[in-house]
């Protein structure tokens, strides 16, 4: 069997390439990654608003009572309150 110089050189070249690939993989394995999120000013403001909504007193029980009263036709409308609301809207506008 004859081993040519070209074959030996090719084997040496492949060996070097494998070494370089191995080193590159080792370098990337040593790097640690971390995720970061930075909120914009608008995002931070929205987060504050959402927290205020969560902390606000619950209106849902009152709304549920009104819904039940409307369905059962027992909801009484105060004409005075309606008139006051209309007048207030004119004062604001």
19 domain residue, yes or no: no
**Radius of gyration of the chain measured on its C-alpha atoms:** 37
31 domain residue, yes or no: no
Per-residue pLDDT of the chain (93 residues; tens, 9 = 90+): 566 678 778 888 888 888 888 887 777 666 667 788 888 989 899 999 988 888 877 777 888 888 999 999 998 888 999 999 999 988 876
- For residue 57, give every residue at least 6 positions away whose Cβ sits within 8 Å of its Cβ, in sequence order, or none: none
Q: What is the pLDDT of residue 70?
A: 92
Take residue 5 and report the two structure tokens written for it: 């110089």
32 domain residue, yes or no: no
86 domain residue, yes or no: yes
35 domain residue, yes or no: no
* SS3 readout for 6-23: HHHHHHHHHHHHHHHHHH
Nearest to 63 by CA among 50, 52, 75, 73: 75
Q: What is the pLDDT of residue 68?
A: 92
Domain that holds residue 71: 60-93
Total domains in the chain come to: 1
Q: What is the pLDDT of residue 87?
A: 92
Q: What is the pLDDT of residue 74?
A: 92
24 domain residue, yes or no: no
Q: Rounded CA gap, 19 and 25, in Å?
A: 10
Q: Are 63 and 55 in contact (CB under 8 A)?
A: no
């Amino acid at each position: 069997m004859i081993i040519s110089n070209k074959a030996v050189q090719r084997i040496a070249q492949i060996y070097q390439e494998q070494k370089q690939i191995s080193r590159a993989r080792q370098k990337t394995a040593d790097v640690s990654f971390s995720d970061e999120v930075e909120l914009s000013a608008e995002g931070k403001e929205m987060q504050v608003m959402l927290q205020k909504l969560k902390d606000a007193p619950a209106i849902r029980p009152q709304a549920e009572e009104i819904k039940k009263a409307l369905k059962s036709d027992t909801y009484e409308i105060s004409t005075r309150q309606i008139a006051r609301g209309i007048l207030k809207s004119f004062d604001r506008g």
